[in-house]
Structure 1
Amino acid sequence: MGKIGIIIQREYFSRVKKKSFIIMTVLGPVLMAAIMIVPLWIAMQDKTVQRIQVIDDSGLFQNLLQSDEYNQFDFTPINIFTAKENFYSTDYNVILYIPPSIIKGNYNVQLFYKKQPGVSTEMFIRSQLEERITDMKLFANKIDVELIKKTKTKINLSTNKIEEDGKSTQTSTAVNMFIGFVGAILIYIFIFLYGVQVMRGVIEEKTNRIVEVIISSVRPFQLMMGKIVGIALVGLTQFLLWTILTFTIYTVTYTVFLGKIDNNIEQIEKIKQSQLEKGPFNAPEEIKKMDSSEVIQIMRGLKQIDFVALFLCFVFYFIAGYLLYGALFAAIGSAVDNEADTQQFMLPVTVPLILSFVVAQSIMQNPEGSLSFWFSVIPFTSPVVMMVRLPLGVPVWQLATSMILLAAGFIATTWLAGKIYRTGILMYGKKITYSEIFKWLRFNS
């Protein structure tokens, strides 16, 4: 094993054996899975029925608010003060107070509760009131309310991508953007997390004067590369373990929760089609409203994504992006005596990554724009920006150009960082400035 290999082995095993690494590797996917699955599981359970006591001092809404399965309206002919005093002696969950001023256009109502009701309950109450007020205004202007309701149409916009060979594939822009942003955020976090580890490791060895002993056996460049690659393998190991656990959880979730529902979608669509063929205005209202749930549409969008290709691209941009920035973090660590002095050098390194997320917002509006293209091929921004674009579809030549330039950028930054590292690693007690670093870059020995 070469000298760099020994350094890589030391950096790798000294970190993967730490309890913090093991705990985060196990808890990370579990926590992420809990965030995704627990709300879904709760949503599938029986919801609490909200009994709503309505105090209508306006007299406009008497028995006009329509209850549903989870929200039950009950109009009571008492004043609001009595209702509030006796609230805890009743089985009502919520008091809805409609003041008389609503007649004059003051559309402010009050909601009183024992325990905080869900957002869905508040939205339901608000929508009921708004619909009734709209109906009253239409009636006052002698406009047929039922006719207006019939004119309202809900469009289900399905996005499909047509390939050059004529093959059409159903996609979901929202799902693709979400996947892209998740990948970009992970790369951003890993670059900073493990890049800072490289910088701190260099500072620690320099402060403890351990580096003086180490470089008596290896060259500074070998030490820098061994540290960067070793920590990169730590990050890659953690990411691979997270991927395996996440994929397992996703597979189980899809099979248990959505596999059965998926089998019923075709039956629902057949029922809708057979009824609508008789005439869209003759079909029962329940049939018209039947539609695949948003959850199913999201899962179908996920099924159309080539996760293997996306995963391979993620690994490349993760490794190449980390190596590029890791070399810069190592150079910063070698140029200072303590972590507090790194702040002046961190800004030029962090700005491109932060700018990447600013540009990523514009990708939502124009994924194929020139801004999206250039920032996805510039080495300092491509790891984040290209990951956002990939699920949306990127031409092969653009992807190849981005990868080649990123690899070239890594080689260039490593060469420059090596020159800084070689000089700065043995320099103590001097306040380093940018002009001093430029002198090191011109120094040849």
Structure 2
Amino acid sequence: MNKYWIITKDVYLKNIKSVSFLIMLLAPFLALGAFYVIGQFSSSDSEDLQTGIVIQAETATLPELAAFKKEFTSYDSRESGEKALKSEEIDGLLLLTIEDNTVAAELLSEDSTSQEKLMGLNFQLSQLQTTLRSQALGLSLEEVAAINTPVNIEVQKISFNEAGNLQEETDFSGIRTLVGMMSTILLFIFIMTYASIIAQEIASEKGTRIMEVILSSVSSRSHFYGKLSGILLVALTQVAVYVVSFGIGFYWIKDRPSVAAFLAEFSLKDIFGEFLLFTLIYLMLGIFIYAVLAALCGSLVSKVEDVSKAILPVTYLSLAGYMIGLTLGLSNPGHAAIRITSYIPFISSYTMPIRLANDNVPLIQIILSLTILVVTLLALVMFSSKMYRSNVLIYNDNGIWAALKQSIVLMKNERQKNK
């Protein structure tokens, strides 16, 4: 046990002090800072420049155009508008033609126009055309508003208590879905990062051909568990830093009027409750099971250069769960694929948080899914630890499957000798 902790401590300190870990730790904060700065520049640019407009209408003094023109810089002719566009006084020129109560528009711009801006312009022009045509038909503004009044659908989340009676609940599926999606993205990032790290950690010693010396002084099981535990502690350290950072950020914004008003009406326990606890459990178990699989794959390669090929099973499995959770989770969280894969190990860590965010999943189903995941994890740990001694002593350049077959043969031969 003492040698196990020595290996764990060595692996942990070596990785935690590395420059790559520091970059990996700070990357999300740097990305958020970059997005914030870009957003600030974008907003300042949009405030400095606006779109010009030239209107050609049968009656240029239509009262309906007065409110519409306020948001634009008006020009008397196309030539004057193009001159302002050339001198960068405006960022675009809208040429508006109105004939027979029909609006036609052309937007001139040197740069690509964002879809958000085009959608906004399209909505404004549609409203203008509706107003013009309704007045031509002799409809009043009140009648037009009555025609365009949308149907309001009130969605009420319900559940049935133990007595079978219906009871209303507050719907927090929106914010819970956001947390579930964040969990899916974080799990994929952590798996892709630490699968490579743990595989390289094991393959590096094997590539230097010193594994025979190491295993002569420490058992293969202690060496395997020590390497695995050290990397998992590094991952837990990164998660802890993000949790603390989130707590500090929440402390700064909790007194803002909008946040305070929201928290006065709903508590965090009402919003998240058991959902957040189960999501964190699935996140940690997902990282753990993929780390074990990555360690097993890393022990099969003979050179560090082959690690990227060795962890392809980890990559494909993780990518499958990520795509199912992210795509179906956004479009149709109640899809059969989401429900079925929430019980399949390696995939359930991606899909069950999506189900928990959108459905009232019975506790028995959650326990069943977690039981399958934990049993698979324990079986994989036991299998990997048994295979580890044979794997690290095999140097096969014919690929991971050839090395695995050779390792299984070697393990069987050792068992027969021990009998």
Q: TM-score, normalised by structure 2?
A: 0.80
2:346 corresponds to which of 350, 360, 380: 380
Aligned pair partner of 1:362 in 317, 324, 328: 328
Equivalent of 2:287 in 322, 325, 342: 322
Q: Deviations over 1:244-298 (max 9, x none)?
A: 11122123223225246659x99xxxxxxxxxxxxxxxxxxxxxxxxxxxxxxxx
Task: Report whether the alignment pairs 1:331 with 2:296.
Answer: yes
Matched with 1:109 is 106
CA-CA distance at 1:140 after TM superposition: 5.0
Q: Please say if 1:2 is aligned against 2:15.
A: no
Letter in 2 for 1:382: S
Shift of 1:341: 3.2
Structure 1 equivalent of residue 132 of structure 2: 136
5 Å-filtered alignment, 1:7-22, equals 7-22=7-22
- Residue by residue over 1:74-96, the C-alpha shift from the partner in whole angstroms, topping out at 9 and shown as x without a partner, is 54332x12332255779656532
Q: Does 1:254 align with 2:248?
A: no
After superposition, residues 119-268 of structure 1 pair within 5 angstroms as 122-139=118-135, 146-154=142-150, 155=152, 157-162=154-159, 164=161, 168-256=168-256, 258-259=258-259
- The residue aligned with 1:351 is 316
In 1, the alpha carbon distance for the partners of 2:60 and 2:393 equals 81
C-alpha distance 52-356 of structure 1, shift in aligned 2 (>3 A)? closer
CA shift, 1:405, in A, is 1.0
- Alpha-carbon shift at residue 118 of structure 1 (Å): 7.5
Q: Is the 8 A contact 1:33 1:246 kept in 2?
A: no
In 1, the alpha carbon distance for the partners of 2:243 and 2:369 equals 24
Q: Distance in 1 between matches of 2:36 and 2:127?
A: 33
- Alpha-carbon deviation of 1:198? 0.6
- Taking a change above 3 Å as real, the CA distance of residues 183 and 85 of structure 1, as seen in their structure-2 partners, is same
Superposition deviation, residue 182 in structure 1: 0.5
CA RMSD, aligned part only?
3.9
1:426 to 378, 393, 407: 393
How far apart are 1:11 and its partner, in Å? Answer: 1.1
Q: Is the 8 A contact 1:171 1:304 kept in 2?
A: no
Distance (whole Å) between structure 2 residues aligned to residue 312 and residue 159 of structure 1: 25
Q: CA deviation at 1:183?
A: 0.7
- Of 181-190 and 411-420, the range deviating more from structure 2: 411-420
- Shift of residue 200 of structure 1? 0.7
The structural deviation recorded for 1:242 is: 0.5
Q: Note if 1:400 corresponds to 2:381.
A: no
SS at 2:271 equivalent? coil
Cα drift, residue 162 of structure 1: 3.5
Which residue in 1 is equivalent to 2:56? Answer: 57
- Partners of 1:36 and 1:304 in 2: how far apart? 30
Which secondary structure does the structure 1 equivalent of 2:361 belong to?
Answer: coil
The residue type equivalent to 2:128 in the other structure is: R
* Contact 1:55/1:95 (<8 A) preserved: yes
SS at match of 1:56: strand
Count residues with an aligned counterpart.
405
Equivalent residue, structure 2, for 1:297: none
Matched-pair contact (CA < 8 Å) for 1:229–1:323 = no
Report the AA paired with residue 83 of structure 1. G
Task: Please report how far the alpha carbon of residue 355 of structure 1 lies from its aligned counterpart in structure 2 after TM superposition.
Answer: 2.0
For structure 1, the 5+ residue unaligned runs are 267-299
Question: SS where residue 171 of structure 1 aligns?
Answer: coil
Query: What does residue 97 of structure 1 align with?
Result: 95
CA offsets per residue over residues 306-339 of structure 1, 9 Å max, x none?
25x4443344323322232222211221211234
AA in 1 matched with 2:292: A
3-state SS of the aligned residue for 1:320?
Answer: helix
Tell me the secondary structure at the aligned position of residue 195 of structure 2.
Answer: helix
Q: 1:66 to 1:172 in 2, by over 3 A?
A: farther
- Distance in 2 of aligned mates of 1:325 and 1:440: 21
Contact map agreement 1:7 1:223 (CA 8 A) in 2:
yes
Name the amino acid aligned to 2:148: K
1:305 counterpart residue number:
271
Partner of residue 417, structure 2: none
| Residues 76 and 324 of structure 1, relative CA distance in 2, 3 Å threshold | closer
Identity of aligned residues (%): 22
Deviations 1:29-61 (A, max 9, x none): 464477589969998x99837655321234467
Distance in 1, Cα, partners of 2:97 & 2:300? 69
Q: Is the contact made by 1:52 and 1:92 (CA closer than 8 Å) also made in structure 2?
A: yes
Contact in 2 for aligned 1:172/1:301 (Cα 8 Å): no
Amino acid at match of 2:55: D
Contact 2:203 2:304 in 1 (8 A): yes
Once residues 66 and 267 of structure 2 are traced to their aligned partners in structure 1, the CA distance between those partners, rounded to angstroms, is 35
Following superposition, the deviation at residue 205 of structure 1 comes to 0.9
Q: CA deviation at 1:398?
A: 1.3
TM-score by length of 1: 0.76
Deviation at 1:232, TM superposition (A): 0.6
Please give the per-residue CA displacement for 1:356-413, whole angstroms capped at 9, x wherever unaligned: 2333233455545543232111112111111222223422111111111111111222
Task: From the superposition, tell whether residues 331 and 202 of structure 1 become closer, same or farther in structure 2 (CA, over 3 Å).
Answer: same
Are residue 409 (structure 1) and residue 407 (structure 2) matched? no
- Counterpart residue type for residue 134 of structure 1: T
Measure, in 2, the Cα distance between the counterparts of 1:2 and 1:314: 34
Comparing 398-407 with 386-395, which one deviates more in the overlay? 386-395
The 1:357/1:93 distance shift into structure 2, 3 A limit, reads: closer
Deviates more, 1:84-93 or 1:351-360: 84-93
Structure 1: distance between partners of 2:30 and 2:303: 36
Q: Provide the C-alpha distance between the structure 2 equivalents of 1:327 and 1:89, rounded to a whole number of angstroms.
A: 62
